[in-house]
């Protein structure tokens, strides 16, 4: 029986810096949208008295949490993808 020749698999990994930059851009764009929707639509609609400054603080804290969460998930999935690619090479 003839063995099939396996083609080499190119393993592309995103650097930590690239993952962090992507996460920051993604989340900051979401921050602007979330801030605007809450300040100008949800708060008035629900009768929630919130100042612009309070909204900035709340949105900023949630944004930092979201950046960290996105960075950690991306690194986890990158690691899983890397391990799977290594197994295919064996």
At 35-47, the pLDDT tens digits run: 899 899 999 999 9
Q: Are 86 and 12 in contact (CB under 8 A)?
A: no
Tokens of 2: 């003839």
Q: Where are the domains of the chain?
A: 16-89
What percentage of the chain carries pLDDT values higher than 70? Answer: 87
Measured CA to CA in angstroms, residue 46 lies from 38, 50, 61 at distances of 10, 11, 22
Q: Is the pTM of this model over 0.95?
A: no
At 69-87, the pLDDT tens digits run: 888 888 898 888 888 888 8
């Amino acid at each position: 029986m003839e063995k099939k020749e396996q083609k080499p698999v190119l393993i592309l990994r995103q650097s930590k810096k690239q993952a962090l930059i992507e996460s920051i851009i993604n989340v900051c764009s979401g921050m602007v949208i979330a801030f605007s929707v809450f300040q100008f639509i949800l708060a008035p609609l629900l009768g929630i008295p919130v100042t612009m400054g309070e909204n900035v603080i709340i949105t900023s804290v949630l944004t930092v949490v979201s950046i960290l969460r996105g960075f950690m998930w991306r690194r986890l999935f990158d690691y899983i993808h890397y391990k799977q690619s290594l197994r295919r090479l064996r």
